[in-house]
Amino acid sequence: MKVLSESAAPADQGPSPVANLFTLPHGIIGFKDYTQAELLYVPDHLPFLWMKLQRKTGEAVHFIVIEPAGLVPGYSPELFDADAEALGLRDASEAMLLNIVTLKSQNPLEAVVNLIGPIVVNRRTREARQLVVANYSAYSAHWPLVDATANRASA
């Protein structure tokens, strides 16, 4: 997983729109004290997004994430009822999925995505949790974003 300190992250581009901010009351795995999140859109980096996680002290780390729709064929994660209820999701349209990307050797062509443990954001309440999907056995925590066979064919 790629984690960047504040100094290596994208430059601050002024105040963020409220729609880019959300809370993670329980943090994410390995970062439980980082409960404030912000999505940073850098046009030159799309489809990758930056997720800035902050502690109450202001200390921040950044992760590379994607919204999987249109990028991960056949990805249909199912949430456990208790998880959907805890997030206050009334229907699937209220959920925004973010999947953490790991870059290997700083090479986007070797990026892998965690499809088992997405961050699910309730668009209405702006509250999020990192969850294990109910149909986890159908997915990988190291799914290659760029298919290796496609890379060989284009080389």
Does residue 52 lie within any of the structural domains? Answer: yes
- 3-class DSSP assignment, residue 97: strand
The answer to whether residue 39 sits within a structural domain is yes
Let me know if residue 146 belongs to a domain. yes
Instruction: Report yes or no on 138 lying in a domain.
Output: yes
Residue among 57, 61, 50 nearest 28 (CA): 61
| Structural domain includes residue 15 | no
With respect to residue 47, please indicate whether it lies within any of the assigned structural domains.
yes
Q: Residues 66, 109, 107, 133: what is their CA dihedral angle, to the nearest 10 degrees?
A: 40
- Domain span holding position 129: 3-10+20-154
Domain count across the chain: 1
CATH of the domain at 33: 2.30.290.10
pLDDT in tens, 21-55: 999 999 999 999 999 999 998 888 888 899 999 99
Helix, strand, coil percent values for the chain (each to nearest 5): 20, 35, 45
The list of the chain residues with pLDDT below 70 reads 1-19, 148-155
